Structure 1
């Protein structure tokens, strides 16, 4: 069980590798921190010597003027050290913070960049809220470890080394006595450490799941309110939150055991010195002075203080290592779709697409989504993909963009296998206008620029005009600088769709995919959007996924797909004459007035 919960050693080394560019800052911060801890140690020595001077003065063995001079010297020296240590304390905080936050930034950016490279199947299997938790929460958990766990660990090691060196130089017996309880201290922490680590990982996993569910429901607030499920969602959230209570209580239980052990040991240590040291001082008065005994008693805080801080850091470290495992679990996930060895940049496509014998199965699916799928899409033509839901229409477009890897078959564009091209250069020539356009919470201009970030303002304006969006954009107070809100919530469905079309115009792809692009619009919005789409489709190879057949009856060819195969292919009139599945679908939508159906475009 312990092996399952200990952090993978290589993950810790990989985390420490992020420190390498900032090693000097970490070293300086540690050095300044060592000064902070050493000043009290030195002052304890000075206090011990001062007590010996006072004892000698009281006994009459030292003139009072000489005693006062020495006491004054030791006191002023200690005050000077205390005042002088304030600058290193400030520098330790400032330098350490810059180094730590730089590492956190690098780790977070690398994690986000890696997630962006992962394949569609990864996002199918992970909630966006859970991924957000890893990018934000798990990386954030590393920050206390770097600051308190890493830097202070070195500070504590140096402090223990210096203190024990001083104690052994003063008196070997008392120094060994000072170490007597250290094995007990280490044994207690060792016994608890793996349990703390396991519980910390469980808490982070639970929080990630809660974050995923919460983000999902908040994003669907309209659905929740429409179905009046607010109370149910509150109850579900409460139940999920309750599961964290036991983990939190157990975490406090472990922390309480650790603190109780530390408190007891820290309380016993000076008393042990008083008991044994006092016995030696009483019965062997020449061996130990009162000042030395007092010095050793005071030093116990510096001997066991680092262990107490290490106990506090154990929780921070355990939490960080649990988060580190989760972070590097993502890093260790390889993209399923990657450039082949020797892949080249795709040439500019004319858009002749030949799909031959394509077979594909989604991960963990029982049956294939496509089986021996074959279809020719001539360049600069419009091909409609129609058929029952779940037949494989959207899957075809996903494979055309190489979102997934298929089992058998080929996809050829302009005579070249798309797997011989780099993924980036292939997708750069494929545009998408989905049913529910994803707009971001920036400005209208920023959303259109997503199609081509280096476009000029004139090009953005021209794209908006081509998408029949310029009129409504200029009617807004802020025009292109209007903030859209999350998912473009401030715009109507038709307006959002026209922004998405403008984005596609700006990208200027050779191959265009329209996935139910007008199905969610009212009649007036659909008319305007349809005009924009027709302008966008000119001189491009276009695939249209549609359930409303009135929107595709003028397509150059219509491919009827069911159960992952093309069962019919031809123009509208040809397919009606065959009286097959397409004709049946038309009758379901248009009734028996099939001759009039082409006028409904």
Structure 2
């Protein structure tokens, strides 16, 4: 039962901050042990002052009692400051570690999972649910000391003073615990509804902000605002429901915990009159009880917050990667407030496989996208020699993109086998595949930052930078950018043109080998936003660099998918796909001579491009 609880499952995260937790717990023990000193020393000082008035004490004793009281308060306060600093730092570091770990887990997801979960929902879980979880984690550390040990220390001191009076005063407290347990399902249910509503709203906002230009072009802005209003109202109602329950329970807990004050005043006053207790002793007991009341009502709230945090962790658990091992970290790393475990993990070591072009072999392969019963690829059999240039075309929906995505390892086929250089693709590690297979998708996704950061030039020598820039046709663009390679391109590359985005993405694909040529270069309609002449120049440059190279370690297998066929005469082999099948296969010249679909498409495009070029020259 204990092993199923989320507080047991997050033990690796405790270990990552064990140094900070140790310092915080030591300070907390000192604080909560010393918490009884101020009331006791205050009571002693009052009794000393009353004795001095009767001539039974001295001013020296009174001064010592006052100094002791101030010292006890100072010790308690210093320990409290240290405890809060170290434990809250540990809490925030744990959440940072968990968010980092969630991102690592998401990056390792199969592509099929992204078809089932919205990006906005993922964002809400990483940001919002980790915040809710942090509250529970804070309760399990800070409140364990501030409330539990604090209350136990006070209750023990009250028992020492007067056990009967302490037990009578504490009699209503178990009722608050029972109520907290009984309301657990309500707390978990309303927290889950609130977090789901937050995820739905975040997903909608992310979708609308991403497509804001389309919303304006097609006049859908009012509809999107209306839907956001509805979702915001649902989130407001869920928040109100959770808040009403939480705030409604707080006064009930407080009333139950503080109701014992009647017994303390009534019975304690009688004992002073009877001479069983002194006035100082009753004042000290009252101070202890008042301090207990100030924190005691938080004990049932502790259970409710732990319950809410459990809901948040359940929503996070499925996306978390195994926590990084801390054995190789620097000594005393767990004592460092600013360290996030896993951020400094070294890049996984790739295998020592020889560089050079990769041969591709596909046998009886069938593939369909998640959620679709219609095969995008059906019975594909294909062998592509290492170091060759293959061009693929076909109508929209013929399976060109699906074929490259399967070759890149983004999706696994439902049947059949894909091999690179004689090794099944499933046997390649993600690290080896990322260093040996470069894939440029149709949509060149760029990140906010500089051109250099998007291409990934951090680990490359300057000579390699210049070579990649030349191959991708970016030389003139880089020269015209105000900051050169350090020019900021905005989110998604919004500050550069479509053609520049494609060429920057092409440069990034060429740089994946970290200093050596990629073994397999997959380009999916990479030149849709560049003119025909630039396309031809880039393809010819890529052929010269990766196909016609004499040194095998510098060569690569190049596969290009495109609707435009102007560059196809440069290819060693041309494939035409239709309805997920290869319907034409051969050299450009052989397919032209066959005078079938490929020849008709090429000739039609050639007739269109020839007058356009003549017009530009004229």
| Residue in 1 that maps onto 2:38 | 43
| Residue in 2 that maps onto 1:566 | 582
- Equivalent residue runs for 1:168-567 within 5 Å: 168-281=159-272, 285-314=274-303, 316-331=305-320, 346-449=353-456, 453-507=458-512, 508-521=517-530, 523=531, 526-538=532-544, 539=547, 540-552=556-568, 555-567=571-583
SS in 2 for 1:154: helix
Q: What are the Cα deviations for residues 377-422 of structure 1, in whole angstroms up to 9, with x where unaligned?
A: 2333333333333332211111112222223222233444333433
What is the alpha-carbon distance in structure 2 between the residues aligned to residue 595 and residue 222 of structure 1? 31
Q: What are the Cα deviations for residues 479-518 of structure 1, in whole angstroms up to 9, with x where unaligned?
A: 1211111112111111222222223333432322121112
Which segment drifts farther, 419-428 or 187-196?
A: 419-428
| Residue in 2 that maps onto 1:63 | 54
1:161 aligns with 2:164: no
What is the alpha-carbon distance in structure 1 between the residues aligned to residue 448 and residue 181 of structure 2? 49
What is the alpha-carbon distance in structure 2 between the residues aligned to residue 106 and residue 34 of structure 1? 26
SS in 1 for 2:183: helix
Structure 1 residues 333 and 123 mapped into 2: Cα distance closer, same or farther (>3 Å)? Answer: farther
| Residue in 2 that maps onto 1:340 | none
SS in 2 for 1:18: helix
Q: What are the Cα deviations for residues 72-94 of structure 1, in whole angstroms up to 9, with x where unaligned?
A: 54333212222343432332233
What is the alpha-carbon distance in structure 1 between the residues aligned to residue 599 and residue 466 of structure 2? 43
The size of the alignment, in residue pairs, is 573
What is the alpha-carbon distance in structure 2 between the residues aligned to residue 344 and residue 77 of structure 1? 68
8 A contact 1:8–1:325 mirrored in 2: no
Q: Aligned-residue CA RMSD in angstroms?
A: 3.4
What is the alpha-carbon distance in structure 2 between the residues aligned to residue 457 and residue 573 of structure 1? 40
| Residue in 2 that maps onto 1:33 | 28
SS in 2 for 1:495: helix
What is the alpha-carbon distance in structure 1 between the residues aligned to residue 290 and residue 128 of structure 2? 35
TM-score by length of 2: 0.83
What is the alpha-carbon distance in structure 1 between the residues aligned to residue 151 and residue 76 of structure 2? 19
Using the TM superposition, give the Cα deviation of residue 578 of structure 1 relative to its aligned residue in structure 2, in angstroms: 5.1
Q: What are the Cα deviations for residues 458-480 of structure 1, in whole angstroms up to 9, with x where unaligned?
A: 32122212322122212222212
Using the TM superposition, give the Cα deviation of residue 186 of structure 1 relative to its aligned residue in structure 2, in angstroms: 0.7
8 A contact 1:258–1:311 mirrored in 2: no
What is the alpha-carbon distance in structure 1 between the residues aligned to residue 492 and residue 609 of structure 2? 41
8 A contact 1:360–1:407 mirrored in 2: yes
What is the alpha-carbon distance in structure 1 between the residues aligned to residue 461 and residue 147 of structure 2? 57
What is the alpha-carbon distance in structure 2 between the residues aligned to residue 112 and residue 297 of structure 1? 51
Using the TM superposition, give the Cα deviation of residue 180 of structure 1 relative to its aligned residue in structure 2, in angstroms: 0.5
| Residue in 2 that maps onto 1:11 | 6
Using the TM superposition, give the Cα deviation of residue 357 of structure 1 relative to its aligned residue in structure 2, in angstroms: 0.6
1:115 aligns with 2:106: yes
Consecutive unaligned residues in structure 1, runs of 5 or more: 1-5, 335-342
Using the TM superposition, give the Cα deviation of residue 574 of structure 1 relative to its aligned residue in structure 2, in angstroms: 4.3
Using the TM superposition, give the Cα deviation of residue 110 of structure 1 relative to its aligned residue in structure 2, in angstroms: 2.4
TM-score by length of 1: 0.85
Structure 1 residues 8 and 141 mapped into 2: Cα distance closer, same or farther (>3 Å)? Answer: farther
Using the TM superposition, give the Cα deviation of residue 261 of structure 1 relative to its aligned residue in structure 2, in angstroms: 0.7
8 A contact 1:346–1:426 mirrored in 2: no
Structure 1 residues 350 and 291 mapped into 2: Cα distance closer, same or farther (>3 Å)? Answer: closer
Using the TM superposition, give the Cα deviation of residue 548 of structure 1 relative to its aligned residue in structure 2, in angstroms: 3.3
Q: What are the Cα deviations for residues 247-270 of structure 1, in whole angstroms up to 9, with x where unaligned?
A: 111111111221121232244221
